[in-house]
Every structure is written in structure tokens, then in C-alpha cells.
Amino acid sequence: MEKKAYLAGGCFWGLEAKMQSLPGVIETEVGYAGGNTKKPTYIDVCRETTGHVETVLVVYESGQLSYQQLLEAFFSFHDPTTCCAQGITFGTQYRSCIFYLTEEEKQIAEQVIAFLEVSGIYDKPIVTRIVPLEEFYPAEDYHQDYYRRHGLIDKL
């Protein structure tokens, strides 16, 4: 069965490319979520006035990839212990967030974070926010599938 997940963890270009590499991922789309501005643009989001974060919509086949497995991969793809920064990118639009659609997804996200917190994998607390998805706004076309279109997949 096809399902959707909305995840934010740094620049959406790199996160999208990493998600695309997972078996069971059917398609992805980058955009904005979590803020209070309707139909934000990239420039709006970069000005840090919208409250939105760069987010990746991941469409996946749940028979091949469970939501828990998807979240485990998500946590391995970025540093969930830093607020508003991933690598060399800084700003509130790079916050780590899981936008859930159902209470079951919320519970799974909480369980994955609880496991990671006690596992000793990270030296600092996880700051990933778990929030309900209110609206997802697709980013401009030039942001979609950025790594593939620019031959950067091998740079991951």
C-alpha cells in the first residue's frame, strides 16, 4: 500500500536524494511545512519569517518499507541533535521535524526517538519535533529532484 511521510532534516535537496535511495520509496517531492504563511516561496522561507521548514514528502510502499524503517533511515541521514543547522547550512528552515498524519505515526515516531535516546548513538539530546501536518506546500520546480538533475547523486 502506498503511504506518505513528511520529514524535515536540513536542506531538502540532500534529504530528498537520500530518501530516493531507499528501497520502497516510490517518489519524493520537496516543499515547505510547519509554518504560518500560505503558499510560501523559497525566498520567504529563507528570510525565516514564515515558520516553515524545508520538508520532503516521501511516497513509499509500506509492504517494502515500514514507517519505522523510514524514520530510522531519516535519523541516520541527518543530525537530529542540532537545532536550526545541518552541516554548513544554518537557519530555522533547517529544523528537524517529523510531520505525522495519524496518531499511529506519532506513536511510532515517539518510540523511535525514545529508543535512539537510550541507545547511546547520540551524545546530545534529540531535538526533532513531532508535529501534526497542517499543510504542505510544494517548492518551486527548480528545487525538485535537485541532486539527480545536477549530477550530484554520487556526492552523497
> Which residue numbers are catalytic?
11
Among 107, 101, 108, residue whose Cα is nearest residue 135: 101
CB neighbourhood size of 90 (10 A): 11
Question: Which residue, chain included where needed, has cell 536550526?
Answer: 84
Residue 138's contacts (CB-CB under 8 Å, 6 or more residues apart) are: 29, 30, 31, 57, 144
What is the signed CA dihedral for 102, 105, 106, 111, rounded to 10 degrees?
160
Among 39, 21, 71, 45, residue whose Cα is nearest residue 136: 39
